[in-house]
Structure 1
């Protein structure tokens, strides 16, 4: 059995606590991290913390069999939840961290931001412990504790509830962020210093021996046959502007026999010879001027014989222009009749059911959308028919023009 690090709400500190636990425990044992839900950024921090690959496990977008097969392994697993423990997609909260805990029989460690609480912490924790009798909350880690006196008050209020740690308030553990979440691990200034600091604090204030006693490898499960890769030779853009690809998708393409190669558009590298060219999402809007000047990269998109597929940031890069947050408009690849802008930001967020009628992505998919860009021009046939998590029809998503296609949707799994 492994554990889930959850919280009553976002902003409670579960990411920092998870990273501190992964780095602290990896000093004496091998273990893995995983992230609940559609998150590209936190998993890369997990990998940096414990030097093991980290996967997304999504109880809305993946079937229980897919989750169990991907989570199985020889190493114990610490899973970081998303949002609050019982928060999921509408209408019924499907896909919550609690759903994932039930599917994998994970014990839950609840991280509570106690910075502005005293006796009330008991009512909060007792409510979470009693809410779902099918979940086992193994204990609580108190976060943002102000002093030894404050800690004593919290512990007294919690009575017999297992307190696995009390982490003091520490401004050095605040991480830099931007509009889609934390600054990416590869861009984080002094990342190892931060991770070691988090590990040292967790080691000093959390009962690691107790947590280790909860960690057991998950049982092996039959491998669920993935959808065949979209092509035999797949080239993938990978750098700070195109970092949002799911490891489970790439791993399963490779396991099915596809040959994967990688290149950096930011370094003006040309697209490798391939049958399928994948431009993932990321932050092209932060690098639009540089990308617009990288003529070797852009010209290679025009000369390749591969099918080109772009998700979100990759989709915007395949368009005609991208206007950044300062109002500066940059020429992009011009392969799709698409113009996008960050000058007037609008949040688009939610799970999606996606269906492509033809091409290498033909079929039904689960996915999600998370971006602030607005579309100022989009002409041509769409890539996907789409509904939201509740099945409500949405306008068609994306564009297809010849061998080039893309949308703002991020594919998670096939259906």
Structure 2
């Protein structure tokens, strides 16, 4: 069993369907999952549903060889798409879920939110199935169906289309969200009930036996690069304020012999002894007052002589101050001359080509930016030169001050374009 779950657009219910299927199938077998594109929140729900790590497969930021290596394995694999099936980076749609399906030769199951349509569902489904002959949209799941009569109307409009099931409206499975996406898995006290209720719903309304037959030959792992660790001993902040790390990065570092430990700034843990202190992204803006008051953590961070790297939220914590949504300024670590504000929100979103000439991540990288914080002031030496997905130059990103550095960009992988140019 290997297939990709996608939809015509965001908000169609593909995450709920994916989680329900993952929990349902995991009741009888080991199941693996993956998430298309840059995402930290959905993979944590996947891991909770299956008890197995969830990897990100990014068709924009990773080479096909890297994607096939991460997707290889003997266990069944279900991949959740991102946004709509053909939504990717401008102008060619690179990085879309369809792009990933082509690379892995995966059948696609389309989740359609049918709550506000009837006969039009036929045009929608047929359009997606015929749009790109290289993408095998094998059938649909009808979501948000209002009644038996509504379902009959939908099915009548889909002659010849495989329908894996229809899911009734399910207000009890709505998921809470905030500015960067869903409420995190570790923040939900009702997570197990939510996953089990979703699994029961999928088992009741979907043809799991038909879905289980979907698949193609597993890709051979083949030769693919692994990332060298930025240091031998790496300690990583990990709690609800610092939760955004990519498993493939940590797996690569461990495979190369790096020693990785974790600590919690929210618990006021002192920073462990290490060669690199890594503060990943997350939601420090929601916990700014607590972080500012946790002097054991901040003092140990300021006194450390190790390399220190902050990514997105971690970058904000390394600055002088962070203004929360209420307009209150909280003193941060003061290791970079940076003031950020969550009170004056502006969305920053997109893929990035990054180059750093120094620091723990010297080299050329692919990454992404997704945050609502604004930079009030930033003084010092920039860390990265940057371009967007189309190659258009952007202002320099981040700061570096001796052994301390960071930026709003999340690093995904070595840049395949830069690597290809170097090899040529």
> Which TM class, normalised by the smaller chain length?
over 0.9
Q: Please state how far the C-alpha of 1:217 moved relative to its aligned partner.
A: 7.1
Q: Please name the residue that 1:92 is paired with.
A: 92
Q: Distance in 2 between matches of 1:309 and 1:411?
A: 12
Q: TM-score normalized by structure 2?
A: 0.97
Q: Distance in 2 between matches of 1:220 and 1:236?
A: 32
Q: Please state how far the C-alpha of 1:156 moved relative to its aligned partner.
A: 1.2
Alpha carbons 1:14, 1:111 under 8 Å: kept: yes
1:336-351 aligned at under 5 Å gives the runs: 336-351=336-351
Q: Please state how far the C-alpha of 1:360 moved relative to its aligned partner.
A: 2.2
1:390 matched to 2:394: no
Q: Please name the residue that 1:219 is paired with.
A: 219
Alpha carbons 1:76, 1:217 under 8 Å: kept: no
Q: Please name the residue that 1:270 is paired with.
A: 270
Segments of structure 1 that go 5 or more residues without pairing to the other structure are none
Q: Distance in 1 between matches of 2:151 and 2:247?
A: 40
Q: Distance in 2 between matches of 1:152 and 1:223?
A: 49
Q: Please name the residue that 1:122 is paired with.
A: 122
Q: Please state how far the C-alpha of 1:131 moved relative to its aligned partner.
A: 0.5
Moved over 3 A (4+): none
Q: Please state how far the C-alpha of 1:189 moved relative to its aligned partner.
A: 3.1
Alpha carbons 2:112, 2:143 under 8 Å: kept: yes
Alpha carbons 1:75, 1:217 under 8 Å: kept: no
Q: Please state how far the C-alpha of 1:214 moved relative to its aligned partner.
A: 1.3
Tell me the SS of whatever aligns to 1:167: strand
Aligned residues: 415
Alpha carbons 1:166, 1:206 under 8 Å: kept: yes
Alpha carbons 2:386, 2:393 under 8 Å: kept: yes
Alpha carbons 1:77, 1:217 under 8 Å: kept: no
Q: Please name the residue that 2:248 is paired with.
A: 248
Alpha carbons 2:106, 2:215 under 8 Å: kept: no
Q: Please name the residue that 2:20 is paired with.
A: 20
Q: Distance in 2 between matches of 1:153 and 1:127?
A: 19
Q: After alignment, is 313-322 or 184-193 more displaced?
A: 184-193
Task: For residues 34-53 of structure 1, give each alpha carbon's deviation from its aligned partner in whole angstroms, at most 9, with x where no partner exists.
Answer: 10000000000000111111
Q: Please name the residue that 2:151 is paired with.
A: 151
Q: Distance in 2 between matches of 1:294 and 1:177?
A: 27
Q: After alignment, is 330-339 or 220-229 more displaced?
A: 220-229
Q: Please name the residue that 2:418 is paired with.
A: none
Q: Distance in 1 between matches of 2:176 and 2:55?
A: 23
CA gap 1:50/1:122 in 2 versus in 1, 3 angstroms: same
Q: Please state how far the C-alpha of 1:223 moved relative to its aligned partner.
A: 4.2
Q: Please state how far the C-alpha of 1:359 moved relative to its aligned partner.
A: 2.6
Q: TM-score normalized by structure 1?
A: 0.99
1:27-176 aligned at under 5 Å gives the runs: 27-176=27-176
Q: Distance in 1 between matches of 2:267 and 2:217?
A: 40
Alpha carbons 1:77, 1:215 under 8 Å: kept: no
Q: Please state how far the C-alpha of 1:73 moved relative to its aligned partner.
A: 1.1
CA gap 1:314/1:4 in 2 versus in 1, 3 angstroms: same
Q: Please state how far the C-alpha of 1:218 moved relative to its aligned partner.
A: 2.5
